[in-house]
């Protein structure tokens, strides 16, 4: 259930029935030829697709995340760590105040994953709560399925090219990007990182067939569903 | 143009053509029987409807805002002032880095309006930029149109009940909420504020005809368009 | 009672008798030909004049406030939002620790009014307290009285020219400042704002007779007194 | 010259003539039988008395300071270090923007003196500026004069009992407070500190003759004047 | 070269010869039967052993890090994210001011690795600098060597039991800890995490022979040396 | 007992036996010809030498401190006040969580002493705890011993030249540095401060005999021991 399609009375009743809620974490950043909002779109959609059958409320995506690496690409918005930490603390606290005790962060952007540190700090203060950070694209089942299709898969490659992240009228290069020197890249400033990355695809082809993508998506949805239901402390 | 439907190369080109961009500011908070995301939905839609014909890029809505007054209502998420200030500073800086110099904040939530103070601080450091905060529902033309329909209009009343903020299956009370003691309310803590407000509508009827609402919307869109085009310093 | 004329034993006793206290909020910023401390002077005086007969303690004025708009005028001191929020939180907490539970912020500067958001956040943590922000010059009774005298009234115009804010030896222009383009002004950076405003008066004449001013003051004092006594939650 | 008696045009002209300005730093905290605002009163008065003949502008006192030690005494307001640091940075920056390059902080409260660390940080960024922190009561000349009168002198003792800090109708104890165990006191929490201190006087008699006090004051004013004029880098 | 064995003149000369410097990042946290300072000890030693032959200066270890997960274990000190971010920014800035442009963070604690996000933010402001975060124990060569010895290796297991982290008089259990449910653990609060982990070893035996450990160390040192010399942007 | 030579079980047991623990506070900053880590070395060693016979646990030195004055000297690392305050709060909280209630900060750097203000703030929240800040070199007994040897003693002079802070191969000037104009120095920015100080010694000879130094050290250790045992509230 999208929280955007609920009112406060419904949330109040829901939190009494089930103390779980979901927050998708996205990012607005370069994704080569794909949507700048790719991570936000994917996180929100996979969260909603997974939560719908479970009847869990999914709050609106936090569209902005941490991505200092891509700061030299126009359209990229990066929140400072100190900012993101504050945002997350406020949101967790609000969920808690609303009656939720098990919170699933469905994260669509690698750069956001440090936020689990903040969530753990917060759990030290709210000791009857639990927080799960689910990096949906990095789950073992989804990654196995990706590898089975094509191991050359990465940020802004075919792996993120779904019908809902590709752009009308934008033609994908018919090529496979070779990998770059990761060690050098990781020590570089944002301008040099852009120089190294060029169009922004990290590695691999730019698109694959819809058949392949929709099967993959299904795996992602199911693994995300498992994250919402299994292994709660 | 929704930035979610653009990639970074398109933004780069766009910023060279026109240095304006748009950010809708929303909130997730009690809206009586309406969607918890009412302010986010309205801000994003009015911004997109207004910007589309102008060809201006609209970034994804910042869905969360400042609403400590409603903290006692489940489903309400309030960012602290110190947090919101940090978020806005990061986003403005990112727009600037992307090449934008005239930034329109299309705000859908009264509680967010203090953020203009931060924007002015930021303009002190980025002296070739301009920021306009447009509280879309509070513009003189929109307010005149509202008053012409029904002066008893407020937060969570009919005035915010559009086809895109009302909820399937939720029936509106057929009544008009009387005003409350505003002075008392404004000095009260969140729990007492909930007590005073009850369902959350501030004042007035809960719904009016779609005809009336769609005409109103048109006024809002046009006034927002004017904010994007006129009176730039 | 001015807290500056009390010692801690007297405050301790007072807080037991009556849980109200008062803090005037000022600003040091351009006021055209008037004192840079106009807002601090007026807030402190109106608070003291109002509180004296009620026997309520008035803490020393917080002389500095938020005024990024006037940063290009020498003598203007603007605290960042993040700073002001921190100051106010500390002061509210100190009043609470002193035994006060109903706190009146008598504010003399429009730019400070966003601070009510912080006060409401704080009320979420201190749920047996109340905070009233009284923008003394913006109360309906005071504003009606102003309009009755001369509707062309604004920041740094005659409306703030009292015997206690005008400066020895400074002659006021014998003119009435025409209004400026507010939409343009509000999107502009501090340097452009100074260009637009010139001497700093927003609109209207620079002075009126003492008779008129003293009558007005009386209205302001009475309305401030009402804010201290009526409509507590 | 009190900045409260100047307008922005006068400050602009003044900063061009002489790049020095003065800010008194006070505190609102227990001072035994004396005014809670003792430190603010003394800092502002000594700054004004010293600056007047020199023609230097004195900004309104920052009335609130850092005093966590006295937090258990009603009427005491303590800003957190993180807050005070932010306030001071904003004020220094505003003075700089106004054209001032040599800034004298006339401090009336021992607990504020750590702020020189922040001022030095700031000087690392504003390398054509200088900041002097003058703890007016702790200058060697003033201290010598105090010792000559009565070496048993301390916070809230006779040493701070001037005609402008004592309170109407409050009778001073005719006694001399013995010293307390400073090592124990300094490791104690605020509640225990109050227990140890009792009325709040640290040590010594509560009052001495006006003759003695006015002579002392003269020494303080002269030493503060020297701090404004001598030894600038 | 340990910076602790250098004076400022030597650092000044060194930074002119070679713009690289090294900072070891540690943590004080539970390591089962091993030293609470294990991560600090290892990071500092591997950094020094690697830098010595290269003649690179190694600053004193930042002994404290981010470890909210272990907050329920006595002796664990966890800096908040917001704190650690501030510390790192100050240190990077100081290295830059000292003349260094290529900075190697030799990190000994997994919980610290989010700090690369801050370093990348910083590189956005200091665009002629580079920062490498080297998680010394997680390098591919070291990990391969570990796996070759015994794949059951983890936090506080034999893998961290070197002659310089084990404690006099503390006998290791002669057992191999089975793995725990990682998904459940990662959503749990600190108290539950302690319950799950028990003595604190994550998985595997508690000690292995010194021969094995010293060979491993050599691999770690060499890989750290490579991080200091290769692949600079 | 060095905490680096203990594990968490030992700290848990220790905190039950005795609720005292020790944290040395250092700094990495210019010390003329001596080690950049002089203050960290001395604080840690004096703390360990003093605590060892008492069986009190000494946490690893916080090597970095506040030293904006020396920012123009290469190798100097200065944490901002806002940073240091955050670090200290986190560490105090961690000690408290570990079961310690009496905390001794053995400080080796004058620039760190403002941190007692933060500790007192913290004691306002943790009212069953005590914190002692011991500036080991500034204790009356140590200072008397220094004066007896040679009153010309200061930062980076012979007074800090112990066998464990001097550097191999560095020859000390055979001279006595004359004092500088302290008033001028204290108002100056970091670059000017370096100009004034030259090599960094404040005043006095650069070395004295080991006999004298070891006797002095003994006094420092004993006075630090007293700070750990006497006058607890």
| F128 vs F119: CA distance, rounded Å | 13
Contact criterion met (CB < 8 Å) for D183 and F230: yes
**Contact yes or no for B41/B161 (Cβ under 8 A):** no
- Can you give the pLDDT at residue C90? 98
| E50 vs E220: CA distance, rounded Å | 9
| C65 vs C111: CA distance, rounded Å | 7
| CA nearest to E156, candidates E37, E15, E75 | E37
Which of C85, C123, C183 lies closest to B82 in CB terms?
A: C85
What are the chain C neighbours of B185 within 8 Å (beta carbons)? 233
CA atoms within 13 A on the CB side of C85: 20
- Can you give the pLDDT at residue A119? 98
Token pair 């006075």: residue: F223
Structure ipTM: 0.98
E166 to chain F: closest CA residue: F5
F232 to chain D: closest CA residue: D184
- Can you give the pLDDT at residue F207? 97
C12 to chain D: closest CA residue: D74
Task: State the chains in contact with A (3 or more Cβ–Cβ pairs under 8 Å).
Answer: B, E
pLDDT confidence of C157, banded at 50, 70, 90? very high
E132 CA: distance to closest CA in chain A (Å): 5
Element (H, E) at D24: strand D20-25
| C114 vs C116: CA distance, rounded Å | 5
Instruction: Tell me the CA distances in angstroms from B187 to C114, C190, C226, one per residue in order.
Output: 14, 33, 14
Contacts of C83 (CB under 8 A, 6+ apart): D83, D86, D87, D89, D90
- Can you give the pLDDT at residue A232? 98
Contact criterion met (CB < 8 Å) for E186 and A116: yes
Which of C71, C189, C233 lies closest to B129 in CB terms?
A: C189
Element (H, E) at A132: strand A130-135
- Can you give the pLDDT at residue B140? 98
| F68 vs F70: CA distance, rounded Å | 5
* Residue B230 main-chain phi, psi, to 5 deg: -100, 155
Architecture of domain A3-229: 3-Layer(aba) Sandwich (3.40)
D76 to chain C: closest CA residue: C94
Which of E33, E59, E74 lies closest to F15 in CB terms?
A: E74
Instruction: Tell me the CA distances in angstroms from C144 to B29, C18, C155, E154, one per residue in order.
Output: 34, 32, 16, 74
* Residues F87-124 pLDDT 10s: 999 999 999 999 999 999 999 999 999 999 999 999 99
C208 CA: distance to closest CA in chain B (Å): 31
Which of B78, B99, B200 lies closest to A94 in CB terms?
A: B78
Per the document, the length of chain A is 233
Which of A6, A26, A95 lies closest to B36 in CB terms?
A: A6
**Contact yes or no for E36/F3 (Cβ under 8 A):** yes
CA angle F66, F69, F70 (to 5 degrees): 90
Helix/strand/coil for B22 = strand
Contact criterion met (CB < 8 Å) for A75 and B60: no
- Can you give the pLDDT at residue B134? 98
Per the document, the length of chain D is 233
pLDDT confidence of D123, banded at 50, 70, 90? very high
- DSSP H helices, chain A, are 8-17, 38-51, 81-97, 115-125, 140-149, 182-186, 190-197, 210-229
Low-confidence ranges of chain B (pLDDT < 70): none
- Can you give the pLDDT at residue F4? 98
Q: Which residues pair with E84 in a beta bridge?
A: none
Q: Read off the tokens for B35.
A: 């969607």
Interval C214-229 mean pLDDT: 98
Mutate to test the interface with A, among B2, B3, B8 (most CBs of A within 10 A): B8
Crossing angle (nearest 10°) for helices F210-229 and F140-149? 170
- Can you give the pLDDT at residue A197? 97
| CA nearest to C176, candidates C163, C193, C159 | C159
Q: Read off the tokens for D133.
A: 């922190």
Contact criterion met (CB < 8 Å) for D35 and C6: yes
Task: State the chains in contact with B (3 or more Cβ–Cβ pairs under 8 Å).
Answer: A, C
**Contact yes or no for D188/F233 (Cβ under 8 A):** yes
What are the chain C neighbours of B121 within 8 Å (beta carbons)? 68, 78, 80-81
| CA nearest to B6, candidates A28, A24, A174 | A28
Contact criterion met (CB < 8 Å) for B189 and C127: yes
D209 CA: distance to closest CA in chain C (Å): 21
- Can you give the pLDDT at residue F31? 98
Kindly compute the dihedral angle of the four CA atoms of residues D104, D108, D111, D112, in this order, to the nearest 10 degrees: -20
What are the chain D neighbours of C59 within 8 Å (beta carbons)? 28, 77
- Can you give the pLDDT at residue A228? 98
Q: Which residues pair with E22 in a beta bridge?
A: E58, E104
| CA nearest to F110, candidates F202, F225, F210 | F202
* Residues E150-181 pLDDT 10s: 999 999 999 999 999 999 999 999 999 999 99
What are the chain F neighbours of D233 within 8 Å (beta carbons)? 184-185, 187-189, 192, 196
Token pair 């005999």: residue: F209
| E40 vs E62: CA distance, rounded Å | 7
| D95 vs D102: CA distance, rounded Å | 9
C147 CA: distance to closest CA in chain D (Å): 26
**Residues of E engaging A, defined by a Cβ cutoff of 8 Å:** 66, 68-69, 71, 78, 80-82, 85-86, 102, 111, 113-114, 116-118, 120-121, 123-124, 126-127, 129-133, 181, 183-192, 196, 227, 230-233
Interval C58-62 mean pLDDT: 98
Which of E28, E82, E89 lies closest to F3 in CB terms?
A: E28
D130 CA: distance to closest CA in chain F (Å): 5
* Residues F216-227 pLDDT 10s: 999 999 999 999
| CA nearest to F56, candidates F7, F117, F3 | F3
* Residue A30 main-chain phi, psi, to 5 deg: -55, 135
Tell me the Ramachandran region of residue C181: left when phi exceeds 0, alpha when psi lies from -120 to 50, beta otherwise: beta
* Residues F141-164 pLDDT 10s: 999 999 999 999 999 999 999 999
- Can you give the pLDDT at residue C114? 97
Strands (E) in chain B, as ranges, are 20-25, 102-107, 130-135, 176-177, 204-205
Contact criterion met (CB < 8 Å) for A114 and E114: yes
Q: Which residues pair with C107 in a beta bridge?
A: C25, C135
- Can you give the pLDDT at residue E147? 97
**Contact yes or no for A125/A89 (Cβ under 8 A):** no
Q: Which residues pair with E127 in a beta bridge?
A: none
Contacts of E69 (CB under 8 A, 6+ apart): A120, E111, E190, E193
Which of D5, D10, D83 lies closest to C87 in CB terms?
A: D83
Instruction: For the beta carbon of residue D5, count every other beta carbon within 10 angstroms.
Output: 16
- Can you give the pLDDT at residue C149? 98
Determine the number of helices (DSSP H) and then strands (DSSP E) in chain B: 8, 5
- Can you give the pLDDT at residue C46? 98
Interval F197-221 mean pLDDT: 98
Furthest-apart CA atoms within chain C: distance in Å? 53
F100 CA: distance to closest CA in chain D (Å): 14
Contact criterion met (CB < 8 Å) for A189 and E123: yes
Q: Which residues pair with C73 in a beta bridge?
A: none
Element (H, E) at E134: strand E130-135
- Can you give the pLDDT at residue E96? 98
| C131 vs C21: CA distance, rounded Å | 10
Instruction: For the beta carbon of residue E151, count every other beta carbon within 10 angstroms.
Output: 9
Helix/strand/coil for D195 = helix
pLDDT confidence of F2, banded at 50, 70, 90? very high
Which of E5, E34, E61 lies closest to F167 in CB terms?
A: E5
Interval D80-95 mean pLDDT: 98
CA angle C156, C157, C163 (to 5 degrees): 85
Which of A32, A35, A99 lies closest to B74 in CB terms?
A: A99
Contact criterion met (CB < 8 Å) for E8 and F30: yes
Interval D196-207 mean pLDDT: 97
Interval F122-128 mean pLDDT: 97
E127 CA: distance to closest CA in chain A (Å): 6
Mutate to test the interface with E, among F60, F75, F79, F190 (most CBs of E within 10 A): F75
Token pair 């929140």: residue: A79
| CA nearest to C95, candidates D66, D81, D77, D80 | D77
Contact criterion met (CB < 8 Å) for A37 and B4: yes
| D58 vs D50: CA distance, rounded Å | 10
What are the chain F neighbours of E160 within 8 Å (beta carbons)? none
Contact criterion met (CB < 8 Å) for B36 and A7: yes
What are the chain D neighbours of F232 within 8 Å (beta carbons)? 184, 187
Mutate to test the interface with D, among F84, F104, F183, F189 (most CBs of D within 10 A): F189
Q: Read off the tokens for A144.
A: 């196995």
* Residues D170-188 pLDDT 10s: 999 999 999 999 999 999 9
| CA nearest to C194, candidates C82, C76, C96, C78 | C76
- Can you give the pLDDT at residue A187? 97
Which of E121, E127, E191 lies closest to A80 in CB terms?
A: E121
| CA nearest to D82, candidates F189, C82, F130, E78 | C82
- Can you give the pLDDT at residue F123? 98
C-alpha torsion sign, points A183, A187, A188, A189: positive
Mutate to test the interface with D, among C4, C25, C81 (most CBs of D within 10 A): C4
F33 to chain E: closest CA residue: E7
């Amino acid at each position: 259930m999208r929280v955007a399609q609920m009112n406060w009375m419904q949330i109040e009743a829901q939190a009494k029935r089930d103390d779980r809620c979901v927050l998708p974490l996205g990012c607005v950043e370069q994704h080569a030829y794909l949507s700048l909002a790719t991570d936000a779109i994917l996180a929100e959609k996979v969260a909603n697709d997974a939560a719908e059958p479970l009847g869990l409320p999914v709050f609106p995506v936090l569209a902005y995340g941490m991505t200092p690496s891509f700061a030299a690409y126009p359209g990229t918005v990066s929140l400072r760590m100190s900012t993101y930490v504050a945002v997350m603390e406020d949101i967790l606290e609000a969920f808690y105040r609303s009656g939720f005790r098990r919170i699933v962060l469905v994260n669509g952007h690698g750069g956001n994953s440090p936020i689990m540190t903040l969530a753990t700090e917060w759990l030290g203060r709210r000791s009857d709560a639990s927080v799960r950070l689910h990096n949906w694209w990095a789950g073992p089942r989804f990654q196995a399925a990706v590898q089975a299709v094509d191991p050359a898969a990465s940020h802004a490659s075919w792996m993120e090219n779904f019908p809902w992240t590709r752009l009308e009228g934008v033609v994908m290069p018919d090529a496979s990007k070779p990998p770059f020197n990761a060690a050098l890249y990781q020590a570089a400033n944002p301008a040099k990182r852009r120089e190294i990355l060029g169009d922004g695809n990290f590695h691999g082809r730019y698109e694959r067939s819809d058949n392949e993508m929709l099967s993959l998506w299904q795996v992602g949805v199911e693994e995300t569903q498992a994250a919402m239901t299994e292994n709660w402390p």
